[in-house]
Structure 1
Amino acid sequence: MIWLTWRQFRTQAAVMFAAVAALAATLAVTGPQLADLYRAAGSGLVDQVSSSDQTLYYTGLLVVLAVPAAIGMFWGAPLVCRELETGTHYLAWNQGITRTRWLATKLGLGAAASMTAAGLAALAVSWWSSPIDRAVNGGAATDTYFPRLDPVVFAARGVVPMAHAAFAFVLGVALGLVIRRTLAAMATTLVVYATVQLAVPMWVRPHLIAPDQTTVPITAGIPINIQEGAKQIVAHPEVPGAWETSQQTLNAAGRPAPVPSSFAECLHTESGLPTAQQIDGCIADLGAQGYQQQVTYQPAGNFWALQWAETALYLGPALALAGFCAWWIRHRVT
């Protein structure tokens, strides 16, 4: 049964593992040079990374993020759905193999292969990117690279990609069982998985581990962005490697309050574009009135705690979906 299951999706698996192997080989060739550069330059590495290495940085990031989605679409969704469409599942069931064993073999082998592929891709990319990650977490100022806790990078580092892959695979199998149309199941798997991947960083991940808070004075020395027509400000205190999850402005009494209308009036000019000196003066006036900015953030040290928490977050639903698949195939598939 295991051999038969492997034969059914060996082509998709071969393509996936070949792509991961090609990426890993490329990273293995260029990685030592990047590590040597970090040892020589430290946090200054981010200013010395070549354009080709910068391309590799983003390529690796995209590959690791894409692997679970591809697994869900091309491994999970067709694995059972195609057999239900063609009726070949009856052949196995009529040869003394129970439905539960038939499904368990497919889920077990597929989930193991999925986690292996995602894990190898994440391991290679995390190793290659570690000099850049250390430079950014060490306080290097850059608009090109992201700290490991940033939502863009977090899902492509550590152990989380393996949990994402397991979830995407079982999700694809479950949707294939219910929909029983391969193309429709593949498309639905992609949509549902992408929706989950957008929702978790926005609404769930910030609360998996208790965040830290800091209150910074509003002064011209703190990097501040002015948003929504001077109705909101966003401060960026020096917290290397941190992920800022939310902010609010506090008045002189320490209570949440909107930015006063006088701030927008201060920035108003006939040309519509205040000068840098005028912006600094208006910010200084706001600080003189006692306004402060409260920043809620996940510090760099919470990286692994968040990794394990999100791994559990995804593996739990994956196991629940596997149980649903077992129930569905025993009671709803004829």
Structure 2
Amino acid sequence: MIRMSLRQLRVQALVGAILLVLAATYLIRLGGDIRAVRDASQLPGQYRQTMLFLAAGFGLVPALIGAFWGAPLVARELETGTHRLVWNQSVPRRRWLAVKLAVLGLASMAVGGVLSALLTWAADPVDQVADDRFSAILFGARGIVPIGYAAFGFTAGAITGLLVRRTLPAMALVFLAVIAVQVAVPNLLRPHYMPAERITVPMSADAINQARSLGSITGGPVVGGLAVPNAWVTDTSAFLTPDGRQLSDTAFNECFDNAPETGATGTFGDTAVCLGELDLHVDLAYQPNQRFWSFQWIELGLYLGLSALLAAVGLWRVQRRVS
């Protein structure tokens, strides 16, 4: 059973092995180049775009594993009818599926773990200076969570193939589904793994000029991109007046569109000065960077739990419904 499962995906496995070797070679070379930079303070500016590109690219790995390793594993046998030959040889259905999931699932987790270990090593000098491993994109490409992503991608692909029973539709569905989950988790679940710390920040003109954005599409009194040292900011309130009420849209837009000319410099210039004179503040929720590994373990457990749930659904389905 194990040998048969491996032989069925030998082409995909060979392609995956070649890509893994190429990725490993590149990351080892990248890590060496990063460590050759004498002034560590230059690393974030020099390699920031590279780190974001790699993290985004590695985010596709679980979806690719699900589409090219997971989806064809069962769907192809159901399409061709070869599953009946195995079952007629007294191999229980659940054992047939369990062996497939276990063998290729462990291989997928190994791929995710190796890539993550190499990228984490290569990027470590940059991460230490930039101190932003908690960002939505970079977090998923560091540490141990990519192991869970790979397990989830493969299991989702295999079970989707079992349910859809057609290889190409299953590949497309699982690719989109895995990406959707990876977008949803950082935005909907990750900020709430542990209770957030909170802080009130006075919004002086200098503080406003340190933000990345001001206002919303609808003209709301909001500010974005405020930072807390050694922390991941998960939520920022709208501008609040001294009595704790939200600044009115009218007052905000007056400063935004018709701020008195003062010759002020900075990102938002006269607008920042106008708002700074209103004695405003914002409430920030944040997760300290020291919780990074706690969040890594929580998210790994989440994805492994989802994988186990999907596997249980597949084992139930193959016993009762698949013929």
Report the TM-score when normalising by structure 1. 0.87
Two-structure CA RMSD over aligned residues (Å): 2.4
How is 1:159-308 mapped onto 2 (pairs within 5 angstroms)?
A: 159-222=144-207, 223-224=210-211, 225-228=213-216, 230-234=219-223, 236-248=225-237, 249-253=239-243, 255-259=244-248, 261-269=250-258, 276-277=264-265, 279-308=268-297
- Whether contact under 8 Å (1:77, 1:175) holds in the other structure is yes
CA offset digits 1:169-203 (Å, max 9, x no partner): 11111111111111111111112112111111111
Choose 188-197 or 257-266, whichever is displaced more.
Answer: 257-266
SS in 1 for 2:223: strand
Shift of 1:268: 2.6
The structure-2 alpha-carbon separation of the partners of 1:120 and 1:256, relative to structure 1 and needing over 3 Å to count, comes to farther
- How many angstroms apart in 1 are the aligned matches of 2:297 and 2:147? 11
The structure-2 alpha-carbon separation of the partners of 1:265 and 1:274, relative to structure 1 and needing over 3 Å to count, comes to farther
- How many angstroms apart in 1 are the aligned matches of 2:305 and 2:59? 20
- How many angstroms apart in 1 are the aligned matches of 2:248 and 2:11? 59
- How many angstroms apart in 2 are the aligned matches of 1:59 and 1:283? 33
Residue 309 (1) aligns with residue 303 (2): no
The structure-2 alpha-carbon separation of the partners of 1:150 and 1:256, relative to structure 1 and needing over 3 Å to count, comes to farther
Question: Counterpart of 2:308 in structure 1: which amino acid?
Answer: L
The structure-2 alpha-carbon separation of the partners of 1:54 and 1:21, relative to structure 1 and needing over 3 Å to count, comes to farther
- How many angstroms apart in 1 are the aligned matches of 2:116 and 2:159? 25
Question: Counterpart of 2:232 in structure 1: which amino acid?
Answer: W
The equivalent residue for 1:7 is 7
Residue 102 (1) aligns with residue 117 (2): no
Question: Counterpart of 1:77 in structure 2: which amino acid?
Answer: A
The structure-2 alpha-carbon separation of the partners of 1:62 and 1:16, relative to structure 1 and needing over 3 Å to count, comes to farther
- Whether contact under 8 Å (1:243, 1:298) holds in the other structure is yes
Shift of 1:257: 1.3
Question: Counterpart of 2:246 in structure 1: which amino acid?
Answer: A
- How many angstroms apart in 2 are the aligned matches of 1:282 and 1:17? 55
The structure-2 alpha-carbon separation of the partners of 1:217 and 1:280, relative to structure 1 and needing over 3 Å to count, comes to farther
The structure-2 alpha-carbon separation of the partners of 1:196 and 1:43, relative to structure 1 and needing over 3 Å to count, comes to same
Question: Counterpart of 1:116 in structure 2: which amino acid?
Answer: A
- How many angstroms apart in 1 are the aligned matches of 2:184 and 2:225? 24
Unaligned 5+ runs, structure 1: 138-146
The structure-2 alpha-carbon separation of the partners of 1:97 and 1:28, relative to structure 1 and needing over 3 Å to count, comes to same
- How many angstroms apart in 2 are the aligned matches of 1:62 and 1:287? 37
* Number of corresponding residues: 317
Question: Counterpart of 2:27 in structure 1: which amino acid?
Answer: L
- Whether contact under 8 Å (2:226, 2:233) holds in the other structure is no
CA offset digits 1:141-188 (Å, max 9, x no partner): xxxxxx211111111111111101111111111111111111111111
Shift of 1:245: 1.6
Question: Counterpart of 1:164 in structure 2: which amino acid?
Answer: Y
- Whether contact under 8 Å (1:167, 1:318) holds in the other structure is yes
Shift of 1:125: 1.0
Residue 86 (1) aligns with residue 84 (2): no
Residue 71 (1) aligns with residue 69 (2): no
Report the TM-score when normalising by structure 2. 0.90
SS in 2 for 1:245: strand
Shift of 1:61: 2.0
Q: Provide the identity percentage.
A: 36
Which of residues 114, 117, 121 is equivalent to 2:111?
A: 117
